[in-house]
Amino acid sequence: MLIRLSGGRVIDPANGRDGIGDVWIRDDRIVESPQGESPDAVYDVTGKIVMAGAIDIHSHIAGGNVNTARLLLPEFHRAHRPRPPETPLSTAGWSTFETGCRYAAMGFTMVVEPAVMPHHALHAHLELADVPIIDKATLSVLGNDDFLLSLIRDGAGPAAIADYTAATLDATKGLGVKCINAGAAMAFKHNVRSFALDDVVPDYDVSSRTIVETLQQAVMDLGLAHPLHLHTNNLGLGGNVESAIATIEAARGKPLHLAHLQFYSYGAEGKRGFSSAAARLAEAVNSNPNVTVDVGQVMFRQTVTISLDIVRQYSAIDTASPKKTVIFDGDTNGAGIVPFNYRSNNFYNAVQWAAGLELFLLTNDPMRVFFTTDHPNGAPYTTYPDLFALIMSREERAKKLAELPEAAVELTTLPSITREYTFNEIAIMTRVAPAKILGLPDRGHLGPGALADVAVYNDDRDRAAMFRSAHLVFKDGDLVVREGRVTHYRFGRALKVNPSYDKTMDRKLKTYYDDLYGISPDLFKVPAAALGRENPFGEVACGR
């Protein structure tokens, strides 16, 4: 099948392209304009914007905790319209099917679920198998597990820790490693209620900083493209910009991804001891090229926070709206689910909203700042179109700023910022940069050989409308979306790495599990055959 997308404005920063032209698709790949061959299908996209499919590197779309949140909040996701004939369950509110459809409708062709607890990896992959259209990947969570902490305490050395990390990635079918408030979930089991970078895990005498450094090294030793993906300490607290800056310094120049940085961008100014320190934090990001960040923008609406940072979630119980929460003391991890309503007339929420936008606008390099709301923690991913509009338009921001409490606005620099993201920068931030940071050379661009994941948008002045309903979306060269509607299902794959490691680690883990839990670690395996889809996995290269 040869397809020609004709006459659109092609925005492909990875290949230095921004101009009117054609894009050619043969089967599932982008190809050079072929000589003397006529296409099987031509789409006239004159006046439209053509980009590669977008990639979301941090969105909690699947897994046991997400599902518990669904069951916790039946009142928030009722469906209201029948599904179209060809796409079962696509209108079922917050179903995996709806997730795939709504992401695809916005031109997204891959999403990373960033917090998979190793003992719940099968559950996460089962849910991802029921997310249609898009490709997926998971990050496996380490850093609160007894086995890792005992390796560090006992001085097992980097080789053993890299082997353990690789064994975990292999068992959980992960693409990378996530660390969430390193050591805190373990400390919480010992009744510790707050946990900072240099706090020490009881019993193990290992600090949060040491855990982060250790995992950062393991990720480098395994040659994973994706740096350690870190949710650092003291999320959400006034004055926590110091924690973020200390974490950036703790990276010691080595690659580190800091997740949902907005939640760490608070100073302690003003009579409430809560202000935006995003400008200072953006400066720290700008001057540390080893660091990448995603924003975790807050948008004003009802949502639910789902996090493995059990210390933070437990402390937020009283803020729950509606008043019901889940706290889960999981195997080697923890989790909390706290519904939350971000309101524009709330001082703190207004500061958070402004701080997120400041991070977007004051971070210079769109290769190092990623577009996220930490779905659903800052806002559901369905607010992305509105967020695109905000970062692309000073006027849109001014309109919203006028609705916010003045006391909050005064504690931010947002009104003074004139920057507006260009299409080219949007394409870098949501296409080129994610493909690079996940190690996917055939994605995020429209050069020959690239996977034919293509989003075509109407060049609507209303940028939110433009990004909400793509004109056309191709997944692997298959036209799956027309005017924001998914026409049929296909099922993508979960991309994973397969680093080699010394298999004696498997035997060590077997002995450890048998001795401690009286069971085999194999019980937690993720067999491809259990997922009920053909070829559920795709493999991504790593250094070993």
Partner 1 sequence: MKVLVDGATASLETAAAAAARLLGEARLPLVAGLGTDVEGARAAISLAEKLRGAYDHMHSEILLRDIDVLRQAGQFVTTANETRVRADCVLLIGDDLTSVWPDLAARLNLTSPARFDDYNEPRKVFWLGPGKGEAASVGATEIAAPRSELPSLLAALRAEVAGRKIHKDSPLVRKIVEVAPALKAARFGVMIWSGESIGRLTIEMIHGLLLDLNKETRFSGLPVSSRANAMGVAQASGWMTGFPMRTGFCRGYPEHDIWRFEAGRLVESGEADAALWVSSYGNEAPKWKRHIPLIAIATPGTRFAYPPKIKIEVGTPGIDHDGVEFAQNLGSLASRDAQKPSEAPQAAAVLRLIEENLKKGEGAC
Per CB under 8 A, residues contacting partner 1 are: 62, 64, 66-68, 70-74, 77-83, 85, 88-89, 91-97, 119-120, 122-123, 126-127, 130, 146, 188-191, 202-203, 314, 317, 320, 324-331, 516-519, 523-527, 529-530, 532
Coil, helix or strand at residue 303: strand
Nearest to 439 by CA among 533, 541, 369: 541
What are residue 204's phi and psi, to 5 degrees? Answer: -105, -20
Q: Which is nearer to partner 1, 114 or 334 (CB)?
A: 334
Toward partner 1, which CB reaches closer, 159 or 530? 530
Judged by beta carbon, residue 308 or residue 355, the one nearer partner 1 is 308
Residues 51 and 290: their CA atoms lie apart, in Å, by 27
Other CB atoms within 10 A of residue 237 CB: 20
Helical H segments across 39-134, by residue range: 64-72, 96-105, 121-129
Rounded Cα gap, residues 172 and 269, in angstroms: 43
Closer residue to partner 1, CB minimum distance, 34 or 93: 93
Q: How far is the CB of 70 from partner 1 (least distance, A)?
A: 5
Pairing of strands 478-482, 485-486: antiparallel
- Give least dist CB 347 to partner 1, A: 27
Q: Name the minimum Å distance from CB 159 to partner 1.
A: 26
Whole-number minimum distance, CB 355 to partner 1, in Å? 29
As measured in angstroms, the least distance from the Cβ of 330 to partner 1 is: 6
Residue 314 CB, shortest distance to partner 1, in Å, is: 8
Minimum gap (Å) between residue 194 Cβ and partner 1: 15
Class of residue 322 by CB neighbours under 10 A (exposed 0-12, middle 13-18, buried 19+): middle
The owner of tokens 């992960």 is 174
Q: What is the β-pairing status of strands 266-267 and 17-26?
A: unpaired
- Name the minimum Å distance from CB 78 to partner 1: 8
DSSP assignment string, 231-290: E-SSTT-TTTHHHHHHHHHHTTTS-EEE--GGGG-EE--TTTT-EE-HHHHHHHHHT-TT
Contact assessment for residue 316 and residue 342, using Cβ atoms and an 8 Å cutoff = no
Choice between 42 and 73, CB closer to partner 1: 73
CB of 38 to partner 1, least distance (A): 33
The token pair that represents 424 in the structure block:
């080219």
Write the DSSP symbol of residue 14. Answer: G
CB closer to partner 1, 296 vs 521:
521
Shortest distance, CB of residue 50 to partner 1, whole angstroms? 33
In this structure, is the dihedral angle defined by the CA atoms of residues 322, 323, 326 and 327, taken in order, positive or negative? positive
Cβ-contact 376, 304 below 8 angstroms: yes
Beta bridge partners of 8: 21
Q: Which is nearer to partner 1, 227 or 334 (CB)?
A: 334
What are the beta bridge partners of residue 275? 267
